[in-house]
Amino acid sequence: MGSWLFARSIGGRWLLRMDDLDSPRIIPGMADDILRTLEVLGLQWDGPVVWQSRRTEEYENACRELRGKGLLYPCGCSRAELARSASAPHPGEDGPPYPGICREGLQEGRGERALRVRVDNEEIVFTDAVMGEYKQNLLHACGDFVIRRKDGPFAYQLAVVVDDAAMGVNQVVRGGDLLSSTPRQIHLQRLLGIPTPRYAHLPLVTGSGGGKLSKRDCAVSLAQGRHLARDGGRLIVASLEFLGQQVPAEIAGASCREILEWGREHFDPALIPCRSRELILRFEPDL
């Protein structure tokens, strides 16, 4: 909803991509369900759907470019070893920063487990449209980070950078849990000579315990137990209000199309709250 509003309110294109690289976590049929749900709610996208699982050659090309510049190196460290490392600084969101064990070459007797990209000891600073200025020193926050596990999928950080550039994305709107990932993506953009888009990170919907509400908690269709064509307007209104938009009572009972049109015309990014919070919305299941 937030990304649709940012794009449509200024006459921009809204692009749809399926980030489906992590195949073990894919639930059969859910991608089609997502597309149907968007269509029923009136959230129509521009152009063809892009599937990351079909773009591995492009990620390979990016790796070759980085390797050719001497910016990648093989790493033989396991996650367990890094977690036990006495020299590792205090862990961050993704564990302890990598201490550089393999930076000058694989240690004797070690095989390659992953590819890491080199980072610099400098601060990356950007201004988020919702969260304001954000800065991070990658060397201290995460160290040289993995862009591919051996015989595994490419890392999210690399894939989204390559795809955003190929799709001509100039604004990324996503959840606040990815704010800390953005400096890594900006670093890769700079290494690959790719323009950096604008970013807007939205507050998260949380569960009753205060944690992020995600598909891990409730891996079911949005349409389950409700009639989307009939009740979709209430979902859209709830989403608009969650994003701080002041929906007038007279529009709340309108059709999805009418509510979306109101949102497009009246969207004000300055009203979006910076803090995540619980969204309570209940429907009686269809009998």
| 219 pLDDT tier (thresholds 50, 70, 90) | low
Q: What value does the mean pLDDT take over residues 242-266?
A: 95
pLDDT tens, residue by residue, 29-38:
889 999 999 9
pLDDT surpassing 50 at residue 283: no
Q: If you average pLDDT over every residue of the chain, what do you get?
A: 88
pLDDT at 216: 62
pLDDT tens, residue by residue, 187-208:
999 999 999 999 999 999 887 7
pLDDT at 286: 43
3-class SS of residue 140: helix
Name residue 48's amino acid: P
pTM, two decimal places: 0.89
pLDDT at 109: 79
| 250 pLDDT tier (thresholds 50, 70, 90) | very high
pLDDT tens, residue by residue, 61-102:
999 999 999 999 999 998 787 877 645 444 455 678 999 999
More confident residue, 22 or 119: 119
pLDDT surpassing 90 at residue 220: no
pLDDT at 115: 96
Q: 50-54, 151-155, 275-279 — which is least confidently predicted?
A: 275-279
Q: Which CATH class is domain 55-202?
A: alpha beta
Residue among 161, 167, 164, 159 at smallest CA distance from 186: 161
Ordered DSSP codes for 164-222? HHHHT--EEEEEGGGGGGHHHHHHHHHHHTPPPPEEEEEPPEE-TTSSBP-TTT--S-T
Residue among 190, 199, 178 at smallest CA distance from 126: 199
Place of tokens 């990658």: 138
Those residues with Cβ within 8 angstroms of residue 109's Cβ, 6 or more apart along the chain or in another chain: none
Contact assessment for residue 199 and residue 129, using Cβ atoms and an 8 Å cutoff: yes
Contact assessment for residue 121 and residue 127, using Cβ atoms and an 8 Å cutoff: no
pLDDT surpassing 70 at residue 119: yes
Contacts 24+ apart (CB under 8 A), 215-219: 215/27, 219/27, 219/30
pLDDT surpassing 50 at residue 227: yes
Q: What ranges do the domains of the chain cover?
A: 55-202, 207-278
| Count of C-beta atoms within a 10 Å radius of residue 183 | 21
pLDDT at 130: 96
pLDDT at 88: 46
Q: What value does the mean pLDDT take over residues 263-281?
A: 83
